[in-house]
């Protein structure tokens, strides 16, 4: 039985800590914190990933006692930032749950109150919010997904349908009931703090960016915990542009490598028959961006490391491959 939005029986709201990772986006961070601190979070942890735009100085002028600022000496990417922030939140803020989101995303009014009203059984380890663009359109990059490799039948349905995504249908956003999902992004991702302190642990830091959230959610599912998508819990994601490689060619490597790592995990033995479809998507990525300098070296390195499940390559090396070091 999925939870309704009825009030919790004990009327005692759970303590929720927000974890936000930021890097050189001070203007947006100010907006995010305005929206976040307006709600009744027990604590708000900001991981400042070595920003050079005055973020540290501004954060140190803030006086809200709920605000905890972690100033990192190096940029460890979203994966490293969330690992650092979630570790601190779970062990230092006394929270029951923590929720992750980026420095360009925030909970819409009432989101936290609705979450706190849900009578969630212990079998539910995480809750995924509905994420929208400021325009009100569904933010596709943050749509939770269903594992299409749960059976051979589902896999062949996937191949036959030629779907480009495993994300839930946008129609699910119009429902009032919660929907079980298998993975979700870190924008509006609520997770039990005792799982973070225990068997689930922290996101995989060496992923740097991309798929650290979906792999983390899938790990939770592999522990036997459920993830619920709750349409009524709404977040805004003000990501003004899609992925662009004009100034960040190095991202190409992480997209290729981490996409392979994710599908190897979620597909299991079905990864082998699925691999040609995945390689086709990589080829499309190359063709779309074929004039980007160093793209061939970045894609080949991402393919090699992904297929070998090798995450030992340093970010410095990846920057060198992109010609941006």
CA–CA separation, 120 vs 4, rounded Å?
9
Task: Report phi then psi at 266, rounded to 5.
Answer: -75, -25
Please state, as a whole number, how many other Cβ atoms lie within 10 Å of the Cβ of residue 283.
11
Residue 172's contacts (CB-CB under 8 Å, 6 or more residues apart) are 179, 229, 231
pLDDT at 161 over 70: no
- End-to-end CA separation in angstroms for the chain: 53
Q: Whole-model pTM?
A: 0.92
- What's the rounded Cα separation, in Å, for the pair 41 and 217? 22
295 contacts: CB under 8 Å, gap ≥ 6: 245, 249, 252, 286, 289
What tens digit of pLDDT does each residue of 193-241 get? 999 999 999 999 999 999 999 999 999 999 999 999 999 999 999 987 5
Contact indicator for 22, 53 with CB cutoff of 8 Å: no
16-237 maps to which CATH number? 3.90.550.60
The domain spans of the chain are 16-237, 251-322
Q: Please state the rounded mean pLDDT for residues 249-266.
A: 95
| Residue pLDDT, tens place only, 4-51 | 434 444 568 899 999 999 999 999 999 999 999 999 999 999 999 999
Q: pLDDT tens digit string along 2-12? A: 444 344 445 68
Band of residue 165 on the pLDDT scale cut at 50, 70, 90: low
Average pLDDT of the chain? 91
């Amino acid at each position: 039985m999925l939870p309704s939005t009825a009030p919790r029986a004990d009327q005692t709201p759970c303590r929720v800590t927000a974890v936000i990772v930021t890097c050189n986006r001070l203007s947006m961070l100010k907006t995010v914190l305005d929206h976040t601190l307006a709600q009744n979070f027990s604590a708000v942890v900001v991981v400042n990933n070595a920003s050079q735009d005055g973020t540290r100085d501004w954060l140190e002028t803030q006086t809200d006692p709920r605000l905890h600022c972690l100033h990192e000496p190096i940029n460890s990417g979203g994966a490293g930032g969330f690992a650092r922030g979630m570790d601190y939140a779970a062990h230092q803020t006394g929270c029951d749950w923590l929720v992750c989101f980026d420095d360009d995303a925030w909970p819409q009014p009432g989101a936290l109150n609705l979450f706190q009203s849900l009578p969630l059984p212990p079998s539910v380890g995480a809750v995924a919010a509905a994420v929208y663009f400021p325009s009100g359109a569904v933010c596709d990059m943050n749509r939770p997904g269903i594992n299409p490799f749960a059976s051979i039948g589902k896999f062949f349905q996937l191949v036959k349908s030629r779907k480009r995504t495993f994300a839930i249908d946008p129609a699910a956003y119009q429902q009032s009931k919660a929907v079980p999902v298998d993975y979700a992004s870190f924008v509006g991702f609520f997770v039990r703090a005792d799982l973070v302190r225990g068997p689930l642990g922290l996101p995989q830091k060496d992923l740097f960016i991309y798929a650290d959230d979906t792999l983390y959610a899938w790990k939770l599912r592999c522990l036997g915990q459920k993830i619920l998508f709750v349409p009524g819990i709404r977040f805004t994601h003000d990501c003004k542009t899609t992925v662009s490689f004009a100034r960040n060619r190095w991202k190409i490597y992480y997209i290729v490598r981490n996409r392979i790592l994710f599908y190897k995990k979620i597909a299991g033995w079905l990864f082998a028959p699925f691999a040609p479809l995945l390689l086709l998507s990589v080829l499309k990525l190359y063709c779309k961006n074929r004039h980007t300098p160093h793209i061939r070296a970045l894609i080949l390195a991402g393919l090699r490391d992904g297929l070998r499940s090798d995450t030992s390559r340093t970010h410095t090396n990846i920057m060198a491959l992109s010609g941006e070091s």
